[in-house]
Structure formats: C-alpha cells, structure tokens
Structure 1
Amino acid sequence: MRIIRFLNESDVPTVAALTDENQVFALPYQGFIELVDAANAQGTTPLKLVLREIENGSPLPTAFENLRLLVPIEAPEVWASGVTYARSKEARNYEATGGKLDSTTFYDKVYDAERPEIFFKSTAARTVGPNDDVYLRSDSNWQIPETELGLVIDSKGTILGYTVGNDMSCRDIEGENPLYLPQAKLWKRSCSIGPSIRLAETVEDPYKFEIACRIYRNNEKVVDGTASTGQLKRKLEELVSFLIRDNEIFDGTILLTGTCIVPPNEFTLQDGDRIENEISGIGVLTNFVKRP
C-alpha cells in the first residue's frame, strides 16, 4: 500500500491510498503525518487504518497515470547519507583525485568508519515532486542526479515509510574541495521526492528494493543504470540512529540513504533532459532538467 498526494479537479491537494493494482482511493486526511497520527490515536497501524477507510469505498475514476501528482509529503527537512555504497566511494575518489584510477582518499576512510557521512540536503520549499523541474546550478559544469531510497521518519526516528529521492549533485564542486559539499548538494530545486510513500509495514525486506536511473536527452536514452539496496554498506536503522543522535528531528523528515548508480564520468546533465528515478514497489519519480 502506498500513499500519494495530488491536485483534484478543484486544484485542492488530496491525500489518497494507491493499491498495488494502481487503484486510487481518496482519504480524509490533510497529509501523511496526520494519517499516522490518526492511526496512533486509534491504537492501530497506518495500513490497517487505510484498509478500513477504503473497505467500502470506490476507487477514483481518474487513472493514477493521469493524476497531477504532488510531493507525497511536505518534509520539513531532507537529510542525506553519502558513501554508503562501494560505487559511490569509487566515484567520490575519482572526483577528489582529478580522475586518478585506483586512488584512495578520505572517502575510503568514511566508507569503513563507524560514523557515516550525513549532511543536510533540503527543506520543503526547495523540494519538488513528480514531473516538476529540477534546476541546474549555474556555477557547476559537472552535474548528475542520484537515485536514492528515502526513509520517511518521525521525531523518534521510527521508519514510517519509503519513498524515491533524487539527490542532485555537482561532482566538480565536491571534487574541488570536500568543504564545498553544502554548495555541491544544496540549492533551489536540487531535490525531488515521490511519487509515493510505501508504508513501512508493507515492506518485508527493505534490502530487496531494485533501483533504476534512466536519463533521456532529445527522447533518446543516454543513461541507464540499475542497483539494489542489498548493496548498501550500512543498515538503515544505523543511518537513522546517527541522524537523530543529539539532534532535533521533526515528524515527516526524510533521510536519503545514498546512491549506487553514478552516470559515466564524462556525463553531465543538460537543460531539457528527463530523469526517471525508479524503485520497485514505490514507483517512478520523473523530473525535467532546467537551467534557470
């Protein structure tokens, strides 16, 4: 079971349940966290509450593919983890050493360290949803998307659901100096989330998610990568535990868990590109690249 948000015919944001058969049922809640809070107040789970809500209801006549989707949750903050996959470590080493093969750097150290890399990524105002534009940074010449599993958590660090995240990144800025990481990661419309939130209780094994990233230029596929969360170096609960340590986290915060798909080193995004980030059981997050 997945939770989505969309604009109805009156342009009102609407929360809905999306079944695995792609049937859509409107729900009487203003947002994902309100649904979770209602379930807690009734001593039940979000899934059981949703099933009860839609038991005697009828699916919407509009097909899911035709809905005007919004971000499934207006996350107050989005955080991200880095160097959680071997492929990510290799890419960061390549950037930091100017393309020297088989070089080792501090990225090797953080990959093996007890403490993971966690950084602030976005706010609700900077985050966009399905079919929205993501922006290129004006002072970077080497930019890529990063397809990542996103964890939707509450203030205590409980994983409530899973979503797809696009962590836009400037490889040249980060490679120039690791202290430039905030500028390489955080700017207007540099993060997208969607298309749904898969309820955590419906996921038997979060390390079996299949991940894909496809990039199209002039309607021609120029990047096609796949991976699996089974390749993660760290456990999801481990990443969450470091995020909430001595930190104030808000209900609905999202933690992106790193990428295992990195486009070829000679590739950079261009104005007009279309990005499809997909995770099995969650959906396809499509965004269009724009140079503002």
Structure 2
Amino acid sequence: MNFADHLFPEDADRSVLAGRLLLADGPTPVIIRSGEVFDVSRAAATVADLLELDSPATVEGKRLFSSRELADLPARQFLAPFDLQIVKAAGVTFAVSALERVIEEKARGDFREAAAIRARCEEVIGGALRSVVPGSDAAARLKESLIADGLWSQYLEVAIGPDAEIFTKTAPLASVGTGAMIGVRSDSDWNNPEPEIVLAVDSRGRIQGATLGNDVNLRDFEGRSALLLSKAKDNNASCAIGPFIRLFDKHFSIDDVRNAVVELRIEGEEGFVLQGRSVMSEISRDPQELVRQAMSEHHYPDGFALFLGTLFAPVEDRDVPGRGFTHRRGDWVRISTPAIGGLVNRVTTSADAPAWTFGSRDLMRNLAERGLLGATGQ
C-alpha cells in the first residue's frame, strides 16, 4: 500500500491544504494550493501560528516544488500536520462505539467473552441508543431503564448523558504522519484502529479545518478498567494524523465534515482484508458541540486537535472464532475520505516503532537557529 497514492483530496485543484514537512532546515509548515507547495514559515513559524490567522488558506509563502514532486518525497519527511497543539479526543460519540465499550467493560478486556455479551447488548440496548438524543429527557428515561435491567455502564453515561467524553490522546509533537509506522503495545492482544476525522481548532475555539486520524485503541487494556485509558490510548507511535489539514474556505466547510464518509481498509501480510466505514451523519453530538465541550472551562493558547470518534467497530473474526479482529505486525491501515485524502500507516509495536525524540525544546531551538521565532500569525 503506497501512502503517496492517497495524499490529496479528490478535488485537489480547488483545495487548500496545510501541513508540516521535514526539510533540510527542520520541520516546516507548508501550504499546498493550485498544485504547488509553499514554505510559509516566514509568515507562521508553526502550524499553531498559521491556524491563529483569520484566513490561513490565503497565506503566501516561498514556492518549494509542485505537488507532483511532493508525492516523491520519502515517508520520513511527512510529519503530522500539528505541532504545538495538544491532541484531544472525543470518545463514545456513535451508538456502535458505545456498545463496544460496554462489551469491553462487561468482558473485562477478555475477547473470549465478547460475542455472547455483544448479542445481549445489541438486543437490549442497540436500537434505543441509536434513536436517543444525548442529554435529553428520553436519554434520562433510558438510563433509568438500563439501571433497572443491570445494564448501565460508565460508557453509556458519556454516550447519552449531557457531558461528552473528552480526553487527551497524546502530547504536542508526539503524533506520527502518513507513511509512518504506527504502534500498539507489545503486551496487548486485543486492539484495533479507530478511523476518525480530526478538527483543527485555534486558541479561540474556531474550527479552521479538518484532517484524518487513527486513534489506536487497546481494547483489552481499557476493557479491564477505564482507569487504564491512558495506557490504552497514549503509547509511542499510537496516534497518526494526516496527511494534511484541509483548511476551511468556500469549497470546504464544517458541513462537509458533518456529511463525510470515512473509509477504512486493513491489509494483513497473510492476505487478510478488512474494510469499514464511519458515516459522520450518524454521530450523536455535532462536531461544534464537541469543540464547545472540549473548550469548557479550559484554555488552549496553542489551539488543539480534536478527534471526533468513530462508528467503526471491528467484530469480524480474523482467525480464532469468536475473537473478532486484532492487529498483527505488518498490517497496512488506510483511512480515507474524498474531501481530505488518505492516511496510510503500517503496524508495529510501540516498543519497536521509532522513538519519539524531537520535542518542544528541540523545535524552539531549531526555530531560533533559523531566525523564525519572530514569525508568527498573531
């Protein structure tokens, strides 16, 4: 699976993309527009600075090369398109994902128990979850009913209650880009990708664009205890984002996010193929509402990235009957949607993936050496 085949939206000729490339001088924010790639570091030293502008899609820069030449660059030069922003995630935003989290919890992370629990949960809870509005009176009545039936869960609280689950996926600069290795913990034996749309939000809460993300999930760890969420979610190379942020303009808006269909394809070395999709129109909370809840009584001076959650729940058996899906080393994972492009990564363990070594101090030193610390979108 060639990552370079999926870098651009279907309507690339009218899209404006923002990203980060590892060039000779260091990490460089770029704009891709009209088939050309521009270094915009003199106008905005970081992508965080770029997204603070009132109209980042119109920023000018120094031409580097054509988008055709861009596709010839090696994978290591494609960095995740966020830098100083923290990466947040909204969980349990689709009915199917809510059911799967309940199943993990009831099975206590043991995949052998999942099939029987799934059948009962789908029968009793499934239809009701799909029709109820979170935080509504109907949701409150459903909660009372499920408590009476002994089926209530902390995951259902965030699925249909007034407060969304918003958590920190990973730290600034820790995400990997398209073409990179993506990691699952070496001691996990039940895990899966989570194909999601990721919003680019500035410090004032404005949504400036959207990209794609893989919120790698360890079902065994989180299923044992929700308090293991950080171990289930935040590991070396466990967060992939890219290939680029498509900036909002007259051709692409939040309505395109609301109506997107996110496709997933997994190809294993043994010939296994799994496909799935997330239909964003089925999300239980509007993307702007999730941004509002992420902002809450908080401040993000560098802005943030926000994963919106996934409808995808892999229950198809890969090998052992009743086990469902779990990753193997060497799996190729492609997450794509026509208006943004495709994010492609290959699976390894977090222990064997390249170490994260370039942090905020390194970025600040690099920008200082290049004379770019005064280049800001403020």
User: Partner of 2:229: helix, strand, or coil?
Assistant: helix
Aligned residue identity for 1:203: F
RMSD (Å) for aligned C-alpha atoms: 2.3
Equivalent residues in 2 for 1:188-199, closer than 5 Å: 188-199=236-247
Counterpart Cα distance in 1 of 2:22 and 2:173: 18
Deviation digits for residues 217-274 of structure 1, max 9, x if unmatched?
A: 1173521112221111101121111111122223241111101112226111111111
Counterpart Cα distance in 2 of 1:181 and 1:219: 31
Counterpart Cα distance in 2 of 1:64 and 1:260: 32
Tell me the residue number matched to 1:229.
280
Q: Does 1:102 align with 2:116?
A: no
Greater fraction of residues in helix: 2
Stretch deviating more after TM superposition (145-154 or 259-268)? 259-268
Once superposed, which parts of structure 1, at least 4 consecutive aligned residues long, lie more than 6 Å away?
none
Tell me the residue number matched to 1:245.
296
Contact persistence 1:134–1:192 (CA under 8 A): yes
Aligned residue identity for 2:334: E
Deviation digits for residues 164-221 of structure 1, max 9, x if unmatched?
A: 1110111011111222222211111111111000112342312111201111111735
Equivalent residues in 2 for 1:12-91, closer than 5 Å: 12-19=26-33, 23-29=35-41, 30-37=45-52, 39-40=53-54, 45-47=55-57, 49-50=58-59, 53=60, 60=66, 62-67=68-73, 68-91=77-100
Q: 2:346 aligns with which of 275, 283, 288?
A: 288
Tell me the residue number matched to 1:120.
168
Deviation digits for residues 88-107 of structure 1, max 9, x if unmatched?
A: 11211221222212334422
Q: Which runs of 5+ in 1 are unaligned?
A: none
Q: Which runs of 5+ in 2 are unaligned?
A: 1-15, 108-113, 122-150, 317-323, 353-378
Tell me the residue number matched to 1:130.
178
Counterpart Cα distance in 2 of 1:102 and 1:247: 39
Contact persistence 1:16–1:24 (CA under 8 A): no
What is the CA-CA distance between 1:124 and the residue it aligns to? 2.5
Equivalent residues in 2 for 1:205-220, closer than 5 Å: 205=255, 206-218=257-269, 220=271
Deviation digits for residues 65-95 of structure 1, max 9, x if unmatched?
A: 2233211121431111111011211211221
How many residues align? The count is: 280
